[in-house]
Amino acid sequence: MTHLSNRSTLHRRMSSFVDWIRGGDKDELIIKQSGDIRDRISNQAEKDGLTVRSTPNSGSFAKKTGLRKHLLGDSSVEGQDVDLPFVISPKHEDGTKIDELLGRFDRYAATCYPQTQRKRTRSSIQLDFVASKLRYDLVPMLAVAGDDEAQILLRGDGQRRRTSVQKHIDFVTRRNGASNALAGRVRFNECVRLLKWWREFRQDNARVIEDVPSILLDLLCAHAYDRCAVEETYAGTLARWFDLLAGTVRRRDLVAFADFGSRASASPGALWAVLDPVNADNNIASQWSSFQIDELGDWFEEGFDAINRAIAADHRGDDSESLKSLIELFGNPFKHYCERDS
């Protein structure tokens, strides 16, 4: 177990960086703007014959794991999208098809926000508010009869996947609450933010990995937290998490949870199983190849080495060498935003 003084330069720097990547200066605007979008889009949908059952909170903003947008130089981080699910009950069968629904929601967005940039993805309509640098994803979902906390997510390939926006939020916020009750300032959600930021810079130089989705990182961080909790410092916590996750990935260990029922068994036919705690039939890693899994294992091993070099240098009082290792982990923004007041 790695121990560092909370007064060490390394801990102070990482604490300051965590405060910076959190952002937070736009929380009130996001709450106000997302409420306005919900009202306007729901009104258009109702006029168009859709019944909007609910618009639950979703995504990294609701989980408190979102990142600040940073688009300077070669250190680009898109930041958090604010997911806005619209859980609907269409009146006709055509209204349950994703292409039809996305076409409708594109029209609603164009009507409500004609001057706002928008883009259609496989399962959402993105609205980009340039002035505020905020992006919202309008996600049409189907209601499930008899279950207000279940939805059907429609995929671009025609798949329909049962999920629960509310339970996904609860999955993360349970661990946020548990870590909030521990002594010290290190929190589960803040460590998730650090790993998400780390992912952004690893993906820039990936060999075969095209994307590490946030849901996969959420689940891997939960897997690490359930076994290691958090330590007094961010560096000590990441050292343990990187070590555990490197072994988990290398061995292709099953990652599964019992938050909403019994812990599921491995997903058949997959090289590695990281199971959705809300729907165990959904293996988040089902499409990953052996090469991609091995590369992710490399990332965690290299992260473990880098954070331990930073810790060792901090113990020696070599702040310059410690900073070099942290920049290796988190990119150039670290050196510009690690000396702010905590």
| Confidence label for 70 from pLDDT (cuts 50, 70 and 90) | low
pLDDT at 75 over 50: no
% residues pLDDT > 90 (the chain)? 70
The residue among 39, 81, 85 whose CA lies nearest residue 61 is 81
> 41: which residues sit within 8 A by CB, 6+ positions away?
84, 86, 105, 108, 109, 112, 138
Q: How far apart are CA 37 and CA 86, in angstroms?
A: 11
**Alpha helix locations (H) across the chain?**
9-22, 27-47, 59-63, 98-112, 165-180, 188-203, 214-228, 234-250, 290-316, 319-330, 333-336
Residue whose entry in the numeric block shows the structure tokens 């997302």: 34
pLDDT at 238 over 80: yes
Instruction: Tally the residues of the chain.
Output: 342
Q: Can you give the pLDDT at residue 283?
A: 94
pLDDT at 156 over 80: no
| Confidence label for 269 from pLDDT (cuts 50, 70 and 90) | confident
pLDDT at 236 over 60: yes
In the CATH hierarchy, which fold is given to the domain comprising 27-163?
Beta Polymerase; domain 2 (3.30.460)
pLDDT at 76 over 50: no
Q: How far apart are CA 322 and CA 310, in angstroms?
A: 4
* Whether 2 contacts 235, CB under 8 Å: yes
% residues pLDDT > 70 (the chain)? 92
pLDDT at 73 over 80: no
Q: Can you give the pLDDT at residue 263?
A: 82
Q: Can you give the pLDDT at residue 44?
A: 96
> What does the pLDDT average to over 28-35?
92
| Confidence label for 132 from pLDDT (cuts 50, 70 and 90) | confident
Q: Tell me the Ramachandran region of residue 181: left when phi exceeds 0, alpha when psi lies from -120 to 50, beta otherwise.
A: alpha
Comparison of pLDDT for 97 and 232, the residue scoring more:
232
> What does the pLDDT average to over 300-306?
98
> What does the pLDDT average to over 155-172?
89
> What does the pLDDT average to over 84-104?
82
Q: Can you give the pLDDT at residue 110?
A: 97
Distances (CA, A) of 26 to 23, 30, 82: 7, 6, 12
Dump pLDDT digits (tens) for 190-221: 999 999 999 988 988 899 999 999 999 999 99
Task: Give the tokens for residue 15.
Answer: 């604490």
